Amino acid sequence: MDGDPSDLPEESEPVPQEDPVAARAQAALESGDFEAAAAVFEKALEDDPRNVDLRANLAQVRLVGRLQDVDGPAVRRTADEDPANVDAQITVADIEVYGGEYEAAFDRLVETVRRTSDDDRDRVRGHLISLFDLLPAGDPRVNAARRKLTSALF
């Protein structure tokens, strides 16, 4: 081909399509409505229950929503002073996960499972399992925590 390359028609790159689920959730988050953002992801999961990205996004929105009005130092003191305080242990585990301290959070909740029974134990176990959704499938931290949880339960 003779001629100036600038004479060639430009190839346009495809414009990425905005994910409507992410856009609706982001709009809710921008207005501070964590419940509405969670509802967007919950609805999308009803349509695509195996979508791990949606599950992780939902877990993140719920985590951040739970921590909005938390006084971290106060709840940490309560958890340290009263290991039987299930609410404090769960909240501190959330803070630890938010800070990237997954192992510490998982260990805290496994130990809380060991110390509790009945409804409290079920609530802590369920919360721990919900935190696993924040990490990719097969993550070694989740696998280790699952083994510890099984040991604590039986």
Q: Does a structural domain hold residue 101? A: yes
Q: Are both 76 and 138 inside the same structural domain?
A: yes
Q: Is 49 exposed, middle or buried (CB count within 10 Å of its CB: 0-12, 13-18, 19+)? A: exposed
Q: Are both 38 and 95 inside the same structural domain?
A: no
Q: Are both 106 and 148 inside the same structural domain?
A: yes
Domain boundary residue, one of 66, 83, 100: 66
Q: Are both 113 and 143 inside the same structural domain?
A: yes
Average pLDDT, the chain: 90
Q: Does a structural domain hold residue 95? A: yes
What is the value of pTM for the model shown?
Answer: 0.81
The boundaries of the domain holding residue 112 are: 72-153
Q: Are both 78 and 131 inside the same structural domain?
A: yes
* pLDDT on residue 89: 98
The pLDDT tens digits of the residues spanning 79-138 come to: 999 999 999 999 999 999 999 999 999 999 999 999 999 999 999 999 999 999 999 989
Q: Are both 77 and 149 inside the same structural domain?
A: yes
Domain boundary residue, one of 43, 66, 89: 66
Q: What's the total number of domains in the chain?
A: 2
* pLDDT on residue 154: 86
Q: Does a structural domain hold residue 15? A: no
Lowest average pLDDT, out of 2-16, 34-48, 79-93, goes to 2-16
- The residues near 78 (Cβ < 8 Å, ≥ 6 apart) are 85, 88
Closest C-alpha among 114, 67, 58, 63 to residue 86:
114
**What's the rounded mean pLDDT across residues 36-44?**
94
